[in-house]
Structure 1
């Protein structure tokens, strides 16, 4: 089986490129708006947890205002989420700021994956500029999610997931797609929320990229030993 039969390039919203038009922030809706919306804001709902500021041992003090040319609204969200006033967002801080359309918090693994993508200096946190790029990435995924959520339910079922993966260039069987949805279905309802849709798509792309490193003749088949298998899995989890 050849790659062009099952392993496309995958969806890479925004190409991880930072743009000036961040957009997409939606404040928490009123009860009336919640009834009208199948899903609402995918992020941008800072939830202050009351943690006291911590000391910035060995770190430069965070900037007192937005960097030159920064979006003031995006800066205000960043500072609201930065509960320890470190000038950096941890995975936990970012998770508290991101919600699905049903107001459930983002999967911590999805947040960790996105932080790893944009953490250019491997600090385990993201600064404002990295946050700006991540925010654009989330907004691009939001538009993608809305495009494939054809029934406007706020969730993706196995049919919609299959259409999405086919559009991304993957030719995967229906049993596998059902298994994928089951794996990322946190409520057991046969569908997946926005955060897990992102995680599922990124997982498929990452695994395919890892597989391709061993499939040197691009025929869709590989033969690997035990340690190579472990290497493939470890790379995917890094």
Structure 2
């Protein structure tokens, strides 16, 4: 679980519309042995719950650094069904599978195997995922992710893709005519932006 990767506006990595799970698992739900093993390693305080700091300590990006605090908090919030700020083993298994799906997609776009995506690779990734983003916007995303090296690590890529996905979903909900334009109030715009920060 050291790298992760890509996303589609219409599809989750590997297929299907991306939406966090919304229901608790049944009492007899089975957790894979791999997820159980990772959960035991990550759950350092043995509380039976994992917070973003514990998750961050377990994840390494392509630069050999821990995943960003932002990426870990976003992933916890996506799968934290009871809004406790922590995830249990069932929620953890969903994150475990999610990250492994991203890893496979990320590797597809990291064609040179560098552990990060450069601007050209990011452009190709978003284009293949169905996003018609301008070169200027792609350049903005890369600079936002890494102002110094101008490359996007796995955790940064996940955050960018989740943000684009959530904003796309918010846009589509408001694009009732399906014509690619919406009218939005300033308050609604702020609410969308703050939810996706």
Query: Do Structure 1 and Structure 2 share a fold, with TM-score over 0.5?
Result: yes
Partner of 1:194: 154
Partner of 2:13: 13
Contact 1:91/1:112 (8 A) holds in 2 = yes
Superposition pairs of residues 1-238 of structure 1, within 5 angstroms: 9-14=9-14, 15=16, 69-185=30-146, 188-237=148-197
Contact 1:11/1:201 (8 A) holds in 2 = no
Give the superposition deviation at 1:77.
Answer: 2.3
Tell me which moved more, 155-164 or 116-125.
Answer: 116-125
TM-score (norm 1): 0.69
Give the superposition deviation at 1:197.
Answer: 0.8
Give the superposition deviation at 1:203.
Answer: 0.9
Give the superposition deviation at 1:208.
Answer: 1.4
TM-score (norm 2): 0.83
Contact 1:17/1:133 (8 A) holds in 2 = no
Give the superposition deviation at 1:173.
Answer: 0.8
Q: Whose Rg is larger?
A: 1
CA RMSD of aligned residues (A): 2.2
SS at match of 2:48: coil
Q: Which whole-Å CA distance do the structure 1 matches of 2:174 and 2:138 have between them?
A: 24
Tell me which moved more, 209-218 or 189-198.
Answer: 209-218
Any stretches of 5+ residues in structure 1 without a counterpart? Answer: 1-7, 19-66
Higher relative contact order (CA 8 A, sep 6+): 2
Partner of 1:22: none
